[in-house]
Structure 1
Amino acid sequence: MSSNHANEVTEGKSERPLWIALILTTTFLIAEVVGGVLTNSLALISDAAHMFTDSAALAVSLVAIRIGRRAADSLRTFGYYRFEILAAAFNAALLFLVAMYILYEAYQRLNNPPEIQTGAMLVVATLGLFINLISMRLLTSDKDKSLNVKGAYLEVWSDMLGSVGVIVGAIIIRFTGWPWVDSAIAVLIGLWVLPRTWTLLKESMNVLLEGVPEGLNLVEISDTLAQINCVSSVHELHVWAITSGKASLTAHVVTELVTPGQYVLLRKIRETMAEKFDIHHVTIQFEATPCIDAGAHSFESQTSQSGSAK
């Protein structure tokens, strides 16, 4: 037996903030590349590289949202929601590669720092910071609802930090004459970005590997199911996510009830999973006794193992 899908998470996500952020970021990216070349600043070029990944992330996010809205068909019965997770993983991998390149280039320049035009460097970085703050504001409301948007948000957030670093570096170089500060700032930006990139990549891979969604505890879910009245035990419990905010659950539930009592129990299970865990896609197989291979290839809680009938 399966739940109906009327209560599933709303599919639509606003594209307007992503479009505005993409236009602003891409426009300034061109200006920043020119500024980085003219001022000979690695920190500014690294900021421009992050701007490029911002534009790529925003563009991929928009494409992912469009594709993710396609209806399910006979080949993809869950639809195209998973494309958003692929986009998030792509954004994380792209940001990781850029950070590694900046670290390598900074190491090369530390031995032979070039002359840097701090005035132009400061102006360009300040404009970049302004653009980043606007983009961050636009993406803030949806960043916790979608890994895809979160990836784009992290790109912009890291670039905002990069702009701050370039501004600080330009001021220090202007008053001290230490050109190596430019490379040092670039290294700090790269080191700051890497851990956050890893976090996003890990979250994306967890969804792709059909792991338990972050924030859900399989033991707690199993115990909650087993404690529902008329449930004797639970096995073959699986919880995963198609994309951000779309968790699914399947389980074998042992009960003495027969039809139509099973329909009442199913409704109770669906309501409990929705209210307590925000899981709206629930598929339950009722059994009079546990199937032969119960627990052989799946999780089973201590409550289920005890076989405590209600």
Structure 2
Amino acid sequence: MHDHAPGVRGASNRRLLAISLALTATVMVVQVVGAVWTGSLALLADAAHMFTDSSALVIALVASIVAARPANERNTYGYQRAEVFGALANAVILIVLSVWIAVEGVQRLVGGGEVEVAGGLMLVVAVVGLVANGVSMYLLSAAQRHSINVRGAYLEVLGDLIGSAVVIVAAVVIWTTGWMPADALASLVIAAMILPRAVVLLREVFSVLGERAPRGTEVAAIREHILRKPGVTAVHDVHVWQLTRGAPVFTAHVVVERAVLADGRSAALLTSLQTCLAEHFDVEHSTFQFEPAGHVEHGDARHD
């Protein structure tokens, strides 16, 4: 007995995510060019930070699009796992970038930080990044209150806003005092911001691919809710995993009183269980197998 109700992301959310992605990606390119022109490692680090946000926005946008695509006979769960593999690639790239930026920053500091940086142009590019992130945050501010998908993208943009502010401070210091090590120090701060986020993303990918229960999901609490339903005597073979971020899947064998099946109350019980999981645990795809009390399974099935 199944409930196939994939999460629906509104078209307005997709439009906002697409606009924010366009802004972020454009500024990222501007920052890369600006880093080459100015010699600023901090700008390059902030471009890598922008890449983090661009990746997050792409993931959010892809999640929004694939959630609306129907499954087929070859891809029975649809294409949502594509997001996970994309996140894996992003995490690896970000870890490599942050380590390279950190090594380069340390080398510049050890060398006295005397790599010449054009502070004025660096400041202009950093301000452009700050403004773009501010606009993206404004666009996503309302939708993020109602969508966990958009909320994640909003927090990523917030992180990059802070990164742009760090670059602005370094640029002002260089422009006003000529102290070049400020650029290397700012790059190290930004690298320190990127690395933990990349590691967290990598851990999340491994958690999904390892089919672990989603963070915050209390299996014991779900089992307790099921056992409270009238007519339910036991529950076993409980499994919770997620196809991708925000797409949990639940299966369980539910032992019910024989009268529930004999009186035709199984449909009402199924609806009640599915509604319970959707409303209390945000599980939109749930599968239940009803078994009469006294039923004995054959084989080497393992129960919990």
Place the TM-score, normalised by the shorter chain, in its bin. 0.7 to 0.9
Alpha carbons of structure 1 residues 219 and 70: separation in structure 2 relative to 1, 3 Å: same
* RMSD, aligned CA: 2.9
Quote the residue 1:303 is aligned against. Answer: none
Alpha carbons of structure 1 residues 230 and 92: separation in structure 2 relative to 1, 3 Å: same
Structure 1 CA distance for aligned equivalents of residues 94 and 156 of structure 2:
7
Judge conservation of contact 1:143–1:153 (CA < 8 Å) in 2: no
Alpha carbons of structure 1 residues 290 and 168: separation in structure 2 relative to 1, 3 Å: farther
Q: How does 1:170-209 map to 2 (within 5 A)?
A: 170-209=171-210
* Matched letter for residue 265 of structure 1: L
SS at 2:76's partner residue?
A: coil
Q: Which moved more, 1:18-27 or 1:69-78?
A: 18-27
Alpha carbons of structure 1 residues 253 and 19: separation in structure 2 relative to 1, 3 Å: closer
Q: Which moved more, 1:219-228 or 1:253-262?
A: 253-262
Structure 1 CA distance for aligned equivalents of residues 55 and 284 of structure 2:
33
Deviation of residue 119 (structure 1)? 1.6
Alpha carbons of structure 1 residues 273 and 58: separation in structure 2 relative to 1, 3 Å: closer
1:289 aligned onto 2:294: yes
Judge conservation of contact 2:233–2:255 (CA < 8 Å) in 1: yes
**Where does structure 1 differ by over 6 angstroms across 4 or more consecutive aligned residues?**
293-296
Quote the residue 2:283 is aligned against. Answer: 279
Judge conservation of contact 2:38–2:121 (CA < 8 Å) in 1: yes
Structure 2 CA distance for aligned equivalents of residues 168 and 205 of structure 1:
37
Q: Deviations over 1:195-216 (max 9, x none)?
A: 2222233233323322222322
Quote the residue 1:157 is aligned against. Answer: 158
Alpha carbons of structure 1 residues 232 and 56: separation in structure 2 relative to 1, 3 Å: closer
Structure 2 CA distance for aligned equivalents of residues 234 and 87 of structure 1:
36
Alpha carbons of structure 1 residues 150 and 208: separation in structure 2 relative to 1, 3 Å: farther
Structure 1 CA distance for aligned equivalents of residues 300 and 197 of structure 2:
36
Judge conservation of contact 1:25–1:55 (CA < 8 Å) in 2: yes
State the aligned residue count. 296
SS at 1:235's partner residue?
A: strand
Quote the residue 2:79 is aligned against. Answer: 80
Deviation of residue 235 (structure 1)? 0.6
Structure 2 CA distance for aligned equivalents of residues 211 and 144 of structure 1:
26
Alpha carbons of structure 1 residues 44 and 296: separation in structure 2 relative to 1, 3 Å: same
Judge conservation of contact 1:250–1:284 (CA < 8 Å) in 2: yes
Structure 2 CA distance for aligned equivalents of residues 295 and 224 of structure 1:
27
Judge conservation of contact 1:151–1:200 (CA < 8 Å) in 2: no
Q: Deviations over 1:226-260 (max 9, x none)?
A: 22222111110112222344322211112222231
Structure 1 CA distance for aligned equivalents of residues 62 and 183 of structure 2:
36
* Matched letter for residue 122 of structure 1: L
* Matched letter for residue 289 of structure 1: G
Structure 2 CA distance for aligned equivalents of residues 191 and 161 of structure 1:
12
1:235 aligned onto 2:240: no
Deviation of residue 62 (structure 1)? 4.0
Q: How does 1:1-310 map to 2 (within 5 A)?
A: 1-3=1-3, 5=4, 8-12=6-10, 14-55=13-54, 57-59=56-58, 61-63=60-62, 65-112=64-111, 113=113, 114-140=115-141, 141-142=143-144, 145=147, 152-153=153-154, 155-257=156-258, 258-259=261-262, 260-287=264-291, 288-289=293-294, 291-292=296-297, 297-298=302-303, 300=304
Alpha carbons of structure 1 residues 88 and 134: separation in structure 2 relative to 1, 3 Å: farther
Structure 2 CA distance for aligned equivalents of residues 213 and 256 of structure 1:
31
* Matched letter for residue 104 of structure 1: V
Structure 1 CA distance for aligned equivalents of residues 277 and 266 of structure 2:
16
Show structure 1 runs of 5+ residues with no match.
Answer: 301-310
Alpha carbons of structure 1 residues 121 and 264: separation in structure 2 relative to 1, 3 Å: closer
**Could you state the TM-score of these two structures normalised by the residue count of structure 2?**
0.83
Q: Deviations over 1:154-203 (max 9, x none)?
A: 55333322211111112223444332121111111111222222223323
Judge conservation of contact 1:44–1:121 (CA < 8 Å) in 2: yes
Alpha carbons of structure 1 residues 194 and 273: separation in structure 2 relative to 1, 3 Å: same
Structure 1 CA distance for aligned equivalents of residues 117 and 99 of structure 2:
23
Deviation of residue 153 (structure 1)? 4.6
Structure 1 CA distance for aligned equivalents of residues 271 and 224 of structure 2:
18
Identity between Structure 1 and Structure 2 (%): 42
Structure 2 CA distance for aligned equivalents of residues 100 and 144 of structure 1:
36
Deviation of residue 151 (structure 1)? 6.3
